[in-house]
Amino acid sequence: MKKKQRLGIALAIILTLGVSLFSSAVMAKTEPASSAKNAGQSGSRHGSIDGHGNGGGGNGGGGGNNNGNGGNNHGGGHGNGNGHGNGGGNGNGNGHGNGGGNAPVINLVDPNATDNTRSLFVYLNQTRGKQLLFGHQHATDEGLTLSSTATGLQSEVKNSVGDFPAVFGWDTLSLEGKEKPGVAGNLEQSRANLIQSVKAVHKIGGIVTLSAHMPNFVTGGSFNDTAGSVVAHILPGGDKNAAYNEFLDNIALFANNAKDDKGKLIPILFRPFHEQNGGWFWWGAKTTTSSQYVEIFRYTVEYLRDKKGVHNFLYAFSPNGTFGGAESSYLATYPGDDYVDVLGMDQYDNQQTPGTPGFLNGLVADLKMISKLADGKGKIATFSEFGYSPAGMLTTGNADLQWFTRLLQAIKSDPDAKRIAYMQTWANFGLGNNLYVPYRNAPNGLGDHELLPDFIAYYKDPYTAFLKEVKGVYDGKKVRTAAKNPLMHIVSPTDNGTVSEATTTIRVRALNVNPTKVVYSIQGSSEEIPMTLDADRFFYTANWSPAASFNGKTATLTVKVYKPNHTILQQTVTVFVKVNEILMKTFDFDTDINGIQNNGTYPETLGLTLSHGNLGGNHVLQLNVGNAIHTDTWQELKLELSNLAASVTIADVRRVKLNAWIPLSAGNMSANASVRAIVMLPGDWDTKYGMTTEMKLTDLPTETINGVVYAKYSPVIDLNDPAKSATATGMAISLVGNSLEHNGPIYIDNIGLYSAYAEAPQDPALVDDFESYQGSDAALAAKVIHAGGDATTVTLDGAHKSGGNYAMKLDYTLAGSGYAGVTKSLGSVDWSTFNRLRFWLVPDGSNQKLVIQLKVDGVSFEAYPSLAATTPGWVNLHFNEFAVAPWDTGNAGKKINKVSLKKVQEMSIYVNAVDGATLASSLYFDDIKAINDGTGGVPNGGDGPGGNPAPAGTLYGFETDTAGWNIEVNEASATSPTITTDAASEGTHAMASTFSLAGTGFEFTKVAALDLSTASAISVQVKLSSGQANARLYIKVGSAWEWHDSGTPALVDSSGFTTLTIPLSGIANLDAIQSIGVKIEPAAGGTGTAVAYVDDVYISIAQPTGISFDFETAADNWAINNDGDGAYNTAQATGLEISTAEAAKGAHSLKADFNLGGGQFQLRHANALDLSAAASVTAKVKIVPGAAGSLGSGVKLKLFLQSGDGWSWFDSGEIAYAGTGFNTVTFDLSSVTNKNQIKALGIQVLTPADSTGTAAVYLDDVTQQ
């Protein structure tokens, strides 16, 4: 669930190259006598080498069967090549295999790969199961111990263990000048520098890998800028394809010039588009469909290999683990055997809890799966990227100091998992979050890293291989590449993609075949439409204009490639057709006005005849209008499109357009002269579409034709009732004038009938109602994607919905990973006006841990609804119930607030295994949406006043100062406020001001932001020293500072404090209180002065009757009372947690462990509550003694409350715990005072002196009645 982060800093560093002969005295690596680590020797040739003695193009008989004497070419499609194999290779027809006679055959992406590239493939496959090569990214140019003054090659790995890594990694960022050895702003020099680095490590026997953190070609941002649907833009036909090609051109220049001293090309393992099943790169699953990913991977390979002549690449596929050992998860975006040489995986541990059995077991399961897949497909298996954590190791304080060796032992423990060719870790960019290899004797007082001894032990293990063990990689092995079978694939549009243009280009690649023809067809038609090679002879192309019947729906498109042997290659894709307008029919009147019927006029005194007219040389429909009088406000000229159903499916028509020319002089008699166009769909003559198209003639553009000035009117009329369109038998169009005075022609031309599609406005609150996928499971799976862990599948389901047509069915498996999940990207939506997430859930009764995760402003927050039941229902999660995901310790303690809610990015659903459970089950979700239920409660955000909802209790008590209160609107000579002990309603002090009783009034005012969104009331206590005055409490709310007060002024005097209260129900913008005040207005006739006392500005928060603490998702602010240095916890209660071991209601309860033997303790909720509406409180309690525990004469329980400013104690009295189940403890609140000011609610457990051992208490279902 964690995103991988990397340092991508552009540095301009000049690397001094050369081979260092430094001899380190660090240590020597030894091997057992039986070790066979020379990769050049013969031995068990796993994968593609097994059983290929005479296979391939040489000596193959039998009509072009390129398997020769029965050698098994792994992977898809290597038999039945067209044309006979030739002993020297390079057979005719489609045989692209290269020679070698009886040499073994390998199946490579590039059949024309260089000899050394083939040798590298063989070496890596032969080394599997014998030794495990270690690799390091930026091994020679990044590290804490690398010196700027040293000569020759340096390496952090060599400095640490005495040898270089076997595998050396770089990234295309170096080619851009954004990483060493590149030079910022200089592509040519960056390329030259990287070539020199590659040449240097190749010269000493190192193996080279190249990953690709490509820039965002749409936004210009970095690889982790996921905006812009990049892949759709860079695929052929996209507007950024040329920019992407330029990027690939630079890679090709590098590859084709990376040569050794003999001028031979240096083989490179190229790993583009890695970790694609995550969401942190623009090519990731959250922004790229699996079909788009497959096609951009294929295009990249084909462009480099077939257009740019790159023949020294082996192509690696490396999604991000975990996969739960499931091939289906791993292969979800697999581009095919013809495009992949290396099966890799990226997987990192967790910095907080490294080396857990769960991680190691899951890793081994995944490597085992990949290794077996590689065997079956004839590929190389690798651990292409790994590390202590995505952020590497800590400088000090790492939780597992034997991590490298424990990781290695886990891999070695499985005979399949150990058969990976190499494992490569990331670059040592620096301390903090980019340290992957432990350093030795680092400067600046760092010394040796605390994991160095373990890394040395990893190095010394006979199974690991560093540079000194890399031997015989390019020793002249005679290896032939298998001939490639005919292959075709549709490049665009991609499967489950969207066609949004009225005409789109279909692009197809046909490889290893000379087709007799290539055609496409569309569902519902048997017509095969020819496709032709483009100018570059790269793609077969044809244009397709979707029929209107497909608009807003899906269409299937099939391409067939006819081979010379009369067999067919074909592929079918499904696309969503979402074209703004598809022209269905045009009435252009170029030759006649057939199809237009005169339906008369309204009023009938208005004359109308039709003729075929000419306007400025263009043939048009001429409406000859008579007796149009400006006093008529509805002047309808009625036309009908006769016999339309014979040529158009009326139900598909969603828009009508036309052009009309009305003489501007027709409006001379009225400034309001106007025109509109309406459409009717008979037999419904009542519904008039286009009533809003009215325009004044004077507001229309004008054209002067043959000396006459015309107002040109071009209305667009949308037919927005599909049900009525579906039953229409015809179409009528009227031009309606208002206050026109005219006798003469009006002209109409180009009546266009369109299928129109417009995306429904997106509701930012809606995560998904599963109605927009047009019933396509594939479309759903493209948006709700696998988020890691064990296998998941999402499909549309019509039986478990809350409404509409569909819900989402989530099938999940809990196996090796211990969790499974899916996620949906929301972009960046604003939920700042909402306070809850609401969704329909059909749980499965599995009692596993359901995790609802929201990514809000870059931070992952989680809540945990129960899966204990099976009853369908609504789940309402207040945003305050979400806590930062436990693995994100860097953001621990943060809460969702209204500022962060302006950027909600993702929603994910996970199921975590409880107690190691393994199972397969299904959940159903529907109508997932953010809502505002009116109860508020979401913090505003920020650290200042008003950042969080005000808690219940005294807001201002004036015990130490006036807290910034002032006197305003002073018409009673009131003095500045001070604090005094002369009077107080709570505590010992109040705020006071002396004023004139003869004045008209003044106000105590506090101007400060305040959030009262969770409060039910605000009150204040007011008293005078003498005399009488009328008093009101007020608040000012929102940006307009709207006034709300306590109602009719209350008479206050010296007899005692008077309570002024503002009930807050129904007041808007309570989260934006601008000021609070008390308005004092002396009673009429007063004389002299008096002192006004203000005290105890108090916030009340009402709890609805029936609310309970059920502990299903959190401890709800309950804690063990350890006040007074443990005076209230003499039973030494500890270990408070949410438990599934016992539950009186739902699946969870609150548990604590304690000692028996005479002590007592309290579980307490010490947050303010308002129980003024409650008559009683109940709680369910269960005591479970430990294995050797005895409850003696019996444990006693008390349910208690503390209320008021003095925290007065009230309790239920001692109640003996009975039996072995949950006991219900009830507390009658009739004697409790200040129920609206509850300071604490709790349960007290008292143990008898004759009890022994330990016990656990379970608290559940604390409820008020």
Provide the CATH number for the domain around residue 274.
Answer: 3.20.20.80
The pLDDT score that the predictor gives to residue 890 is 84
Residue 1084 sits at the vertex; the CA angle it makes with 1080 and 1088, to the nearest 5 degrees, is 75
Given 156, 295, 385, 862, which residue is catalytic? 385
407 and 273 fall within a common domain: yes
Given 156, 275, 771, 986, which residue is catalytic? 275
Distance CA 272, CA 241 (A): 17
884 and 995 fall within a common domain: no
**Quick check: 903 pLDDT over 50?**
yes
Identify the CATH number of the domain in which residue 1038 sits.
2.60.120.260
Structure-block tokens of residue 239? 């507007």
The pLDDT score that the predictor gives to residue 606 is 97
**13 in a structural domain:** no
Distance CA 905, CA 910 (A): 17
859 and 915 fall within a common domain: yes
The residue type found at 563 is K
903 and 915 fall within a common domain: yes
1037 and 1006 fall within a common domain: yes
**Is the four-CA dihedral 198, 199, 204, 205 of positive or negative sign?**
positive
Give per-residue pLDDT as tens, 1230-1256: 899 888 788 889 999 999 999 999 999
Distance CA 438, CA 400 (A): 13
Pairing, β 618-628 against β 742-756 = antiparallel
Task: Calculate the alpha carbon distances from 984 to 957, 1006, 1021 in Å.
Answer: 9, 19, 9
Helix axes 357-377, 403-412, angle to 10 degrees: 40
275 is annotated as an active-site residue: yes
Residue 459: pLDDT band with limits 50, 70, 90: very high
267 and 411 fall within a common domain: yes
Percent of the chain with pLDDT over 90: 75
Provide the greatest CA pair distance for the chain.
Answer: 125
Domain with 1139, as residue range(s), is 1108-1264
Based on its alpha-carbon atoms, the radius of gyration of the chain, rounded to whole angstroms, reads 39
**Quick check: 1095 and 1125 in contact, CB under 8 A?**
no
Structure-block tokens of residue 933? 């239920």
The pLDDT score that the predictor gives to residue 102 is 67
Helix axes 187-203, 241-257, angle to 10 degrees: 40
**Quick check: 1184 pLDDT over 90?**
yes
**What average pLDDT does the segment 538-551 reach?**
95
Least confident of 323-327, 676-680, 1114-1118: 1114-1118
Give per-residue pLDDT as tens, 151-195: 889 999 999 999 999 999 999 999 999 999 999 999 999 999 999
User: What integer best gives the mean pLDDT of the chain?
Assistant: 89
Task: Calculate the alpha carbon distances from 328 to 291, 324, 787 in Å.
Answer: 15, 10, 14
The pLDDT score that the predictor gives to residue 1104 is 54
The pLDDT score that the predictor gives to residue 96 is 40
254 and 400 fall within a common domain: yes
**540 in a structural domain:** yes
**1113 in a structural domain:** yes
Residue 1107: pLDDT band with limits 50, 70, 90: low
The residue type found at 540 is Y
Q: Tell me whether residue 130 is exposed, middle or buried, using C-beta atoms within 10 angstroms of its C-beta: 0 to 12, 13 to 18, 19 or more.
A: buried
Residue 1169: pLDDT band with limits 50, 70, 90: confident
**Is the four-CA dihedral 302, 308, 312, 315 of positive or negative sign?**
negative
The residue type found at 133 is L
Distance CA 895, CA 317 (A): 39
Give per-residue pLDDT as tens, 44-78: 323 333 333 333 333 333 333 333 333 333 333 33
Structure-block tokens of residue 734? 């009227």
**Quick check: 1139 pLDDT over 50?**
yes
Distance CA 822, CA 784 (A): 6
**Quick check: 94 pLDDT over 50?**
no
The pLDDT score that the predictor gives to residue 104 is 83
Give per-residue pLDDT as tens, 963-1005: 999 999 999 999 999 999 999 999 999 999 999 999 999 999 9
Pairing, β 346-348 against β 540-544 = unpaired
**Quick check: 1022 and 1088 in contact, CB under 8 A?**
no
**Three-state SS letters, 642-700:** CCHHHCCCHHHCCEEEEEEEEEHHHHCCCCCCEEEEEEEECCEEEEEECHHHCEEHHHC
Which of 429, 462, 495 is a domain's end point? 462
913 and 959 fall within a common domain: no
**Quick check: 383 and 356 in contact, CB under 8 A?**
no
Structure-block tokens of residue 511? 């490889």
**What average pLDDT does the segment 753-759 reach?**
91
Q: Tell me whether residue 754 is exposed, middle or buried, using C-beta atoms within 10 angstroms of its C-beta: 0 to 12, 13 to 18, 19 or more.
A: buried
Residue 29: pLDDT band with limits 50, 70, 90: low
**Quick check: 173 and 215 in contact, CB under 8 A?**
no
**855 in a structural domain:** yes
The pLDDT score that the predictor gives to residue 1 is 37
Quick one: DSSP state of residue 77? -
The pLDDT score that the predictor gives to residue 204 is 97
**Quick check: 85 pLDDT over 50?**
no
**Quick check: 469 pLDDT over 70?**
yes
Using CA atoms in the order 817, 821, 822, 826, what is the torsion angle rounded to 10 degrees?
-120
663 and 575 fall within a common domain: no
Q: Which of 382-396, 890-904, 1152-1166 has the highest mean pLDDT?
A: 382-396
**1140 in a structural domain:** yes
1050 and 1177 fall within a common domain: no
**Is the four-CA dihedral 892, 319, 144, 447 of positive or negative sign?**
positive
Give residue for tokens 């034997």.
Answer: 402
Give per-residue pLDDT as tens, 1213-1229: 999 999 889 999 999 98
**Quick check: 339 pLDDT over 70?**
yes
176 is annotated as an active-site residue: no
Which of 524, 548, 579 is a domain's end point? 579
**Quick check: 371 and 345 in contact, CB under 8 A?**
no
**Quick check: 201 and 168 in contact, CB under 8 A?**
yes
Q: What are phi and psi of 408, to 5 degrees?
A: -65, -45
**396 in a structural domain:** yes
The residue type found at 369 is M
The pLDDT score that the predictor gives to residue 7 is 36
Rounded to two decimals, the pTM is 0.72
**Quick check: 208 and 214 in contact, CB under 8 A?**
no
504 and 374 fall within a common domain: no
**115 in a structural domain:** no
Distance CA 997, CA 994 (A): 9
**Quick check: 612 and 533 in contact, CB under 8 A?**
no
H/E element, 619:
strand 618-628
**Is the four-CA dihedral 273, 275, 281, 287 of positive or negative sign?**
positive
The pLDDT score that the predictor gives to residue 35 is 33
The pLDDT score that the predictor gives to residue 1103 is 59
Q: Which of 172, 293, 177 is nearest to 230 (CA)?
A: 293
Give per-residue pLDDT as tens, 246-290: 999 999 999 999 999 999 999 999 999 999 998 899 999 989 999
What's the domain count of the chain?
Answer: 6
Which of 579, 605, 628 is a domain's end point? 579
**Quick check: 779 pLDDT over 80?**
yes
**1001 in a structural domain:** yes
Helix axes 452-460, 403-412, angle to 10 degrees: 30
Please measure the distance between the N-terminal and C-terminal CA atoms of the chain and give it in whole angstroms. Answer: 42
Distance CA 1090, CA 1081 (A): 12
Q: Indicate the SS3 state at residue 576.
A: strand
The residue type found at 380 is I
Distance CA 872, CA 886 (A): 28
The residue type found at 339 is Y
Give per-residue pLDDT as tens, 480-514: 999 999 999 999 999 999 999 999 999 999 999 99
**Quick check: 942 pLDDT over 80?**
no
Percent of the chain with pLDDT over 70: 91
Residue 1074 sits at the vertex; the CA angle it makes with 1073 and 1080, to the nearest 5 degrees, is 100
Task: Calculate the alpha carbon distances from 470 to 24, 207, 427, 474, 549 in Å.
Answer: 18, 9, 21, 10, 63
H/E element, 187:
helix 187-203
453 and 329 fall within a common domain: yes
Q: What are phi and psi of 491, to 5 degrees?
A: -85, -45
Q: Tell me whether residue 903 is exposed, middle or buried, using C-beta atoms within 10 angstroms of its C-beta: 0 to 12, 13 to 18, 19 or more.
A: middle
Structure-block tokens of residue 1108? 């309970």
Q: Indicate the SS3 state at residue 1056.
A: coil
Give residue for tokens 């806590």.
Answer: 883
Distance CA 583, CA 715 (A): 16
Structure-block tokens of residue 963? 């807290």
